[in-house]
Amino acid sequence: MSEKIMHVGDADFDNAVLQSSEPVLVDFWAEWCGPCKMIAPALDELAETYDGKVKIAKVNVDHNRATAMKYHVRSIPMLLLFKDGQVHDTQIGAVGKAQLAQMIDKAL
């Protein structure tokens, strides 16, 4: 896993994501979720590619239920792209790296 990926939770979500000066792609995931594990390598690569332009964060829904409920996470993986403290784009389900890169590029 890339050291450029942040792990955030209920306690630090607002500070790390909503107050970020850069767009933040947040991956809502869980240990037991197969599709979540499938997209992890793509997120690692995107964290390296967009380093300095976009932050990538992961929120474990089993440990951070308040944040998951706040953003109506009902199925995972669910990726939300935040820009200026607002949800800019949403992707539900496992998708390829190219589709995630397009989502990020639209926010830049």
Which residues have a catalytic role annotated?
33, 36
Q: How far apart are CA 13 and CA 8, in angstroms?
A: 6
Q: Which of 85, 83, 89, 84 has the alpha carbon at shortest distance from 102?
A: 89
Which residues make beta-bridge pairs with 28?
59, 78
Which amino acid, residue 55?
A: K
